[in-house]
Chain A
Amino acid sequence: MKAQYVTNRARTFAVTGIAAAALIGLGGCASTPPPSEQMAVAEASVQRATTTSTSENAGVELQVATAKLASARQALISKDYDRARQLAEQADVDAQFAELRAQSARSRKAAQESQDAARALREEISRKSAAPIK
């Protein structure tokens, strides 16, 4: 819900930005509008990815995403909107990647444990059936 709200608000900003950009753009090779939507999306993605599990299983990837988001904020303040948009877009995919990498590590671990458990059970059963049941 919050993300939706953020997105709507971002859109409003975007429209404003586009209008402004269009005006400036007509004037020639000018700076891009503030990437409010991309910033909002990146904020949401990084926030979503910032969990203990992601820190443990994909710490470096998460740090990259967080650092890029910070840089994007900095660029936004500096009104370097092109840079801010790019950094925000990258922070978004970086955060998603970190999240998925952590998830896949967890899944791999769970699969391993599950297979180990199945093997242990198989062995236990074969031992049991080898010995007569008392």
Chain B
Amino acid sequence: MKYRALYSVTLLALVSACSSVPDRNTALESARSQFNIARNDAQVTSQAPDELKRAGEALRVADQARGNGESTANIDHLAYLTSQRVMIAQETAASRASQAVTASAAAERDRLRLDARTSEVNAAQRQLAVSEQNNAQKTADLAAAEASAARSQARVERGDQRVNDLEAQLRELNAVKTERGMVVTLGDVLFDTGKAELLPDGGKNIAKLAEFFRRYPDRTATVDGYTDSVGNANANFTLSERRANAVMSALINQGVAANRLTMRGHGAEMPTADNATPAGRQMNRRVEVVFANSGM
């Protein structure tokens, strides 16, 4: 400082020794207006106050030089320094403003990333909750389906059992599946020749049939009587009718409702065996109980 003061004094002495007095300097006025623009620029005053101050200092020095009547060349020079100092302040301010923009953009990116992350986490949690709910629902549905399947299985088994029972009972009666339905044939051994009264042995089969009707109350049947071809056709028809009637009556006696039974005599029609042999004729003398095919 001491040196500088000495230096200044020396300069001053030198300058005053050989100066002229210019009244106006274009470069200086230009620098002044530049400085004034910068001084009124909020970006410069806020971002580069020190640099602006230095520019102001340079302007003051230039003004002082002019006041002291220094050479135009020297004032031009000082005006140039002022201009450059103003531009330095402006560039500094611009640079710092850009850095602030960079920082805030970076902050915004961080905030966006955080927001995105947060909403992703939230979405994932919502999704998890939904999944858990779905899983619970599916588990419940599955359990219900299994229970339902078990019930269906039980029903099927019961149904199978029922069908099995039906078939077993009819099998016992030597039932035969035909186009007309299940046919149970009661042979002529049930009757004395030419008679229509059931023999006591036939009672066992009648009881089985009656039991079948009781077990399956929706079943109806036709009782058909047949004879062999020996003798008068009319007589045979009548006999066949009487025998069918005897079987039907026996069933009714065993408790089968009359409206579930119909009866027909067929005489020697529809033989099941050859009437030329005694064995064939015996097979033709019969009563058939025909259960219609419905749902069997």
Contacts and interface: CB of A to CB of B under 8 A. Distances in A.
B114 to A, nearest CB: 11
A103 B91 contact: yes
B167 interface: no
A84 B73 CA distance: 13
A50 B235 CA distance: 144
Interface residues of A, number: 38
Given A86-B77, A90-B81, A118 B120 contact: no
A67 interface: no
B10 A18 contact: yes
A9 interface: no
B88 A93 contact: yes
Contact of B3 (A14, A86, A97): A14
A90 B80 contact: yes
Given A25-B17, A89-B77, A125-B115, A115 B105 contact: yes
B91 A97 contact: yes
Interface string B166-194: 00000000000000000000000000000
Main secondary structure of the interface of B (DSSP, over half): helix
Interface in A8-47: 11, 14-15, 18, 21-22, 25, 28-30, 32
A6 interface: no
Contacts of B113: 121
Contacts of A70: none
A114 interface: yes
Contacts of B7: 14, 18
B98 A110 contact: yes
A96 interface: yes
A69 B106 CA distance: 40
B87 A97 contact: yes
Contacts of B96: 107
Interface in B260-290: none
Given A93-B84, A104-B94, A133-B123, A118 B77 contact: no
Interface in B111-142: 112-113, 115-116, 119-120, 123-124, 127
B3 to A, nearest CB: 6
A93 to B, nearest CB: 4
A89 B73 CA distance: 14
Contact of A22 (B10, B17, B18, B81): B10
B25 interface: no
30 contacts: A18-B7, A21-B10, A21-B14, A22-B10, A25-B13, A29-B18, A30-B14, A32-B11, A86-B73, A89-B77, A90-B77, A90-B80, A90-B84, A93-B85, A97-B84, A100-B91, A104-B91, A104-B98, A107-B99, A107-B102, A108-B95, A110-B98, A114-B105, A115-B101, A117-B105, A117-B109, A118-B105, A118-B106, A125-B116, A129-B116
Task: Across the A-B interface, give the 4 residue pairs with the lowest CB-CB distance, nearest first.
Answer: A29-B18, A107-B98, A104-B95, A114-B105
